[in-house]
């Protein structure tokens, strides 16, 4: 599970709003809603994932940060970090030097120049790097020295305050905190963290096992135990409450892989069993009370999903992605339907409706209409 498991959500400086943005979002949502239930081939005016040439087919991108329609960051295997500032027409390799053996499973971007990436793994393989010049130079701001810790995901509340989460150490999830934009980190006390279940951990699959909404609220998705859970903190990670989620559990390969919140109350959870030969009959759930309770989707995605994102400026529409396709909900997670069969691990949307997806074999795409 740890080898798979990975985030955010991303802090963005782009701002939505205005008649033009609202009109564009409304038009895109209308077209998405009109997609046939088993849409597989995009038409000329049909919203679809438009694959971009990243210049690699060997890297699996599980980290993704959508800044806007033109700017996005992706991170993945082989110590790779790429950035585009022209809508995916070209990509710059901005990987930190000497990091080829690392797996960057999460990237959080503040704009086109500032970003933080997380490398996962046991002991010193878990590291955090930060750039302020678009990836021209990087500073290693954290290296894990505890062999028992394994960091999975990052999340930022704003451009200064953020958290990273490790699988349980001494029976509790470990939380790392920054108050200076990722330049320095400290381990938070674990007195307010509930005890972990036997076998419980986070999945570093999409950078979305830890996500924030607003100034202080953050959620942690878990799996691997008898029950799948989502933990919530309303004080930037000092104290937490745990709630069961109705998503497949009871095996190290099952649980909640990603969560997304459009505000502090309304959230979505997706997951299942990541093994290709295993079914995931209850792969999605939703909450309207900040994660205190979760209700299963009445028509969930047909298979395991590792990433999820709300469409900007919508109270009801969201996308979920996984190795077997993309699904759309237009009723806040009650029902989902397939809209694309391409393989993606993670998805993220910016306020200007710049929605991006990334995954295996160097695949990165932007939603087009």
Q: pLDDT (tens digit, 9 = 90+) per residue, 199-222? A: 999 999 999 999 999 999 999 999
Per DSSP, 194 falls in state P
Q: Span 304-315, mean pLDDT?
A: 97
Contact 354, 67 (CB under 8 A): yes
- Pairing relationship of beta strands 150-156 and 139-143 according to DSSP bridges: unpaired
The 10 Å Cβ neighbour count of residue 14 is 16
Per-residue pLDDT, 29: 54
Mean pLDDT of the chain: 91
The per-residue pLDDT for 46 is 58
N-term to C-term CA, the chain: 36
pLDDT score of 31 more than 60: no
Q: What's the confidence (pLDDT) of residue 369?
A: 79
pLDDT for residue 23: 47
pLDDT of residue 47: 72
* Torsion angle in degrees (nearest 10) through CA of 247, 359, 219, 286: -40
pLDDT confidence of residue 166: 98
Q: Taking residues 90-119, what's their average pLDDT?
A: 98
pLDDT for residue 19 is more than 70:
no
Would you place residue 343 in the very low, low, confident or very high pLDDT band (cuts 50, 70, 90)?
very high
Residue 21 predicted with pLDDT over 50: no
- Coil vs helix vs strand at 21: helix
Provide the pLDDT confidence category of residue 284 given band limits of 50, 70 and 90.
very high
- Comparing 39 with 356, the larger pLDDT belongs to 356
pLDDT at 1 over 50: no
- Per-residue model confidence (pLDDT) at position 10: 38
Report the half-sphere exposure of 334 (CA within 13 A, side-chain side): 6
pLDDT digits (tens, 9 = 90+) for 41-100: 444 345 799 999 999 999 999 999 999 999 999 999 999 999 999 999 999 999 999 999
Tell me what percent of the residues of the chain surpass a pLDDT of 90: 87
Q: In this predicted structure, what is the pLDDT of residue 43?
A: 40
Length of the chain: 369
Report the range of poorest mean pLDDT among 13-27, 65-79, 146-160, 336-350.
13-27
Residue 363 has pLDDT above 90, yes or no: yes
The whole-angstrom separation of Cα 207 and Cα 235 is 21
């Amino acid at each position: 599970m740890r080898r798979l498991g990975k985030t955010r959500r991303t802090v963005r400086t782009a701002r939505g709003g205005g008649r033009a943005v609202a009109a564009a979002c409304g038009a895109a949502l209308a077209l998405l809603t009109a997609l046939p239930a088993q849409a597989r081939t995009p038409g000329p005016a049909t919203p679809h994932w438009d694959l971009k040439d990243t210049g690699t087919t060997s890297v699996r991108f599980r980290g993704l940060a959508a800044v806007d329609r033109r700017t996005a960051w992706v991170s993945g295997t082989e110590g790779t970090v790429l950035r585009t500032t022209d809508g995916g027409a070209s990509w710059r390799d901005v990987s930190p030097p000497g990091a080829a053996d690392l797996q960057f499973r999460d990237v959080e971007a503040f704009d086109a120049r500032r970003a933080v990436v997380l490398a996962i793994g046991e002991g010193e393989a878990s590291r955090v790097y930060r750039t302020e010049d678009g990836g021209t130079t990087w500073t290693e701001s954290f290296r894990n020295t505890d062999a028992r810790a394994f960091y999975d995901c990052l999340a930022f509340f704003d451009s200064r305050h953020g958290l990273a989460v490790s699988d349980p150490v001494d029976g509790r999830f470990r939380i790392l905190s920054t108050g200076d934009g990722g330049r320095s980190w400290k381990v938070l006390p674990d007195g307010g963290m509930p005890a972990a279940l036997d076998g419980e951990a986070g999945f570093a699959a999409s950078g979305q096992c830890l996500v924030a909404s607003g100034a202080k609220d953050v959620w942690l998705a878990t799996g691997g135990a008898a029950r799948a859970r989502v933990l919530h903190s309303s004080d930037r990670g000092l104290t937490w409450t745990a709630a069961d989620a109705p998503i497949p559990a009871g095996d190290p390969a099952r649980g909640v892989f990603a969560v997304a919140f459009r505000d502090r109350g309304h959230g979505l959870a997706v997951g299942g069993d990541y093994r290709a030969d295993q079914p995931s009959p209850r792969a999605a759930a939703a909450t309207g009370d900040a994660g205190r309770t979760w209700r299963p989707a009445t028509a969930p995605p047909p298979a395991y999903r590792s990433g999820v994102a709300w469409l900007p400026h919508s109270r009801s529409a969201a996308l979920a992605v996984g190795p077997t396709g993309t699904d759309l909900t237009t009723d806040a997670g009650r029902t989902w339907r397939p809209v694309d069969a391409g393989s993606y691990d993670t998805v993220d949307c910016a306020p200007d409706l710049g929605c991006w997806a990334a995954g295996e074999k160097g695949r990165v795409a932007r939603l087009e209409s």
